[in-house]
Every structure is written in C-alpha cells, then in structure tokens.
Amino acid sequence: MGFYGKQPVNPEKCSAVYIWTGLGTPGFFSVYVEGEAQNYSYGFDLVRDAHFVGGLKVDSMGWTGPLGKGTTPYKESGSFQGVYRSEIVVSGSNGNFRIPVREIPHDQVEKYIKSRELEKV
C-alpha cells in the first residue's frame, strides 16, 4: 500500500514564470518541478501551501509504495493564481528552495505558450 507525502526536488531543475494576463487583471504562476523519487512513486502533483503567508509556496507531492530500490526521475507542472513575486518557494522532502520567477508580459503569452509546446516534441 502506498503513502502520500512530499517528494524530493532538484532545485536546479525547478523553474517558475509569472504570466501577465493584461492590464488591470491579475496573472498566474506556472511552476515546473523535477526530481528523483523513491521507487515506486506515482501520482505526482504540485499543491499550494494554503498556510504560507509570504507569497507562493508549492509542495511537490506524490504517492510512494511499495518501496523499491533506486529512484525514478519525475517532472510535474502546475499553475497558481496570485500577485507577482520575484521568488517563490518550492518544497520537497529534501527541503524548501527559493526559485526565481521570470515574467512573461501579456503581449508575449502566445509566443511563450507555443515555445513550451515545441519543447514537448
């Protein structure tokens, strides 16, 4: 039987962008996390820490079990509404990490989304 909890993250492979949606409207954060999870882990998800008051804190969560030898790489992404901050916190089982946020102006959103889609191919 598996158990649900924080998963380890690699802060060097985590990134965040703030996408401005237009004048006078709030934008959102698009967060990307990578790590090496204990075998056998699955069901990865990024969850906003609702009790964190210093901006945005995202927990990298997942199910692990039954336990096996070694690790498996994972990638996860999520989006979160909020007011722009120059840094966010990504939290994993191996600690909390400050991640710089890159801004995407509202007039460059379409170009950014297309570039992200091309990276997946």
Whole-angstrom distance, CA of residue 43 vs CA of residue 82: 25
Reading the chain (121 residues) residue by residue, the pLDDT tens digits are 789 999 999 999 999 999 998 877 889 999 999 999 999 999 999 999 999 998 999 999 999 999 999 999 999 999 999 999 999 999 999 999 999 999 999 899 899 988 888 776 6
Amino acid identity for residue 10 in this structure: N
Number of domains in the chain: 1
pLDDT at position 121 is 61
Q: What range does the domain containing 78 cover?
A: 3-120
pLDDT at position 118 is 77
pLDDT at position 88 is 98
pLDDT at position 24 is 77
SS (H, E, C) the chain: CCEEEECCCCHHHCEEEEECCCCCCCEEEEEEEEEEEECCEEEEEEEECCCCCCCCEEEEEEEECCCCCCEEEEEEEEEEEECCCCEEEEEECCEEEEEEEEEECHHHHHHHHHHHHHHHC
